[in-house]
């Protein structure tokens, strides 16, 4: 896993150079948003179950997916879906804190599309639910932190698509 600091240092080290202006600007912007990121992570952690529930209500409930024949039908599959959304929210929060998406590649997206395809889990509906979490989260943490979280919700969405 990488974060905004190691990403910038590694790329300078590869070139055998001190940090140039653009690398330093990246660090400055990361440090200046530190407080914002920590506050957002605290709010998300305290409201995680509610965020998932509201996102499911907005995107999946009362659709064919929750009816007989749908992939969320049966308590076991419904619970698996909620659990997956919980993973996406938690890992998006880690990535937002780190300011870097690499943890998503390593721990979430690796092999996920193949797993979903082999189990018939609909990717389009999953992406809709992730986008609903993005909206619900932004309304809770405010526009600046919401935009930052949005980067990682979108990263998961495009990694799945
Ligand atoms: C931390 C990293 C991580 C991820 C991301 C993860 C995902 C994940 N989701 C799974 C299943 C599943 N995922 C879903 C999800 C959904 N079905 C829908 O219709 C909805 C659209 C959607 C929810 C948004 C469902 C229903 C299953 C069970 C499918 C089945 O067994 O038939 C499975 C198969 C094994 C299992 O059932 O536990 C994995 C590995 N596991 C991990 O360890």
pLDDT tens string 26-72: 999 999 999 999 999 999 999 999 999 999 999 999 899 999 999 99
How far, in Å, is the centroid of ligand 1 from the Cα of 12? 39
Distance (angstroms) between ligand 1 centre and the Cα of 158 equals 17
Per-residue confidence (pLDDT) for residue 47, from 0 to 100: 98
Nearest-atom index, ligand 1, CA of 130: 24
Q: Does the predicted TM-score (pTM) go above 0.95?
A: yes
Ligand 1 pocket mutation, candidates 78, 110, 119, 160, criterion most atoms within 8 A of CB:
119
Residue whose CA is closest, atom 8 of ligand 1? 84
Reported as a single tens digit per residue, the pLDDT across 127-154 is: 999 999 999 999 999 999 999 999 999 9
Measured in Å, residue 103 CA sits from the centre of ligand 1 at 19
Query: Residue with the nearest Cα to atom 37 of ligand 1?
Result: 80
Own/partner contacts of 108-114, CB < 8 Å, gap of 24 or more, are 108/156, 108/159, 109/156, 109/159, 109/160, 112/159, 112/160, 113/159, 113/160
Pocket probe for ligand 1: among 81, 90, 122, 132, the residue whose CB has the most ligand atoms within 8 Å is 81
DSSP assignments along 65-115, one per residue: GGSTTSTT-SHHHHHHHHHHHHHHHHHHHHHHHHT-SHHHIIIIITTHHHH
């Amino acid at each position: 896993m990488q974060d905004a600091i190691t990403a910038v240092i590694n790329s300078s080290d590869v070139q055998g150079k001190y940090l140039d202006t653009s690398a330093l600007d990246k660090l400055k912007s990361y440090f200046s948003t530190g407080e914002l990121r920590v506050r957002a992570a605290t709010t998300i952690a305290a409201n995680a179950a509610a965020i998932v529930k509201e996102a499911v209500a907005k995107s999946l409930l009362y659709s064919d997916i929750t009816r007989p024949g749908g992939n969320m039908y049966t308590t076991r599959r419904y619970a698996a879906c909620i659990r997956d959304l919980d993973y996406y929210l938690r890992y998006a929060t880690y990535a937002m804190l780190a300011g870097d998406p690499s943890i998503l590649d390593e721990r979430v997206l690796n092999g996920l599309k193949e797993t979903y395809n082999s189990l018939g889990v609909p990717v389009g509906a999953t992406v809709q639910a992730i986008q609903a979490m993005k909206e619900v989260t932004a309304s809770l943490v405010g526009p600046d932190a919401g935009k930052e979280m949005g980067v990682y919700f979108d990263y998961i969405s495009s990694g799945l698509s």
